[in-house]
Structure 1
Amino acid sequence: MLKKISSSSWGRALLTGDASHTRWGFENQVIPGWSEDNKQAKETLHKLTSFSQQNPDIRVLLGHQR
């Protein structure tokens, strides 16, 4: 699982890369349309959303959405 926590003047952020392309997809556990390993993609997305729920103070930045 690739994730990065970044810190800036506006706080900490979780950079998700291409784990999910949109906020709706992230919140609804929708993986990208193409993945080499769908099972791993689903597990990764689940871990990221769980982390986000456990750390609501960390802003989530998605790969294809501002």
Structure 2
Amino acid sequence: MNVTAEFDRRVNRESVVIPRIALLGSSLDAKIFVVENNIARMRKITTGIESGTSIEILSGVKPGEKS
């Protein structure tokens, strides 16, 4: 038996990706700490694709923010 498969590996260059270990809770109720004015604040986020040890953030964090 043979199988032919095609995978679409488009990369969204605008994506925010963080290490999975930085995520608090499950991907269904995800939160991370974001540093604002030298204060760490917990923020609820929406996650996307997980790849190995990284996870995509769909909303809740902007590019350039520090966690």
Higher relative contact order (CA 8 A, sep 6+): 1
- Which bracket does the TM-score occupy, shorter chain normalised? under 0.3
* Length-normalised TM-score, structure 2: 0.27
**Larger strand fraction of residues:** 2
Structure number, greater radius of gyration: 2
**Larger helix fraction of residues:** 1
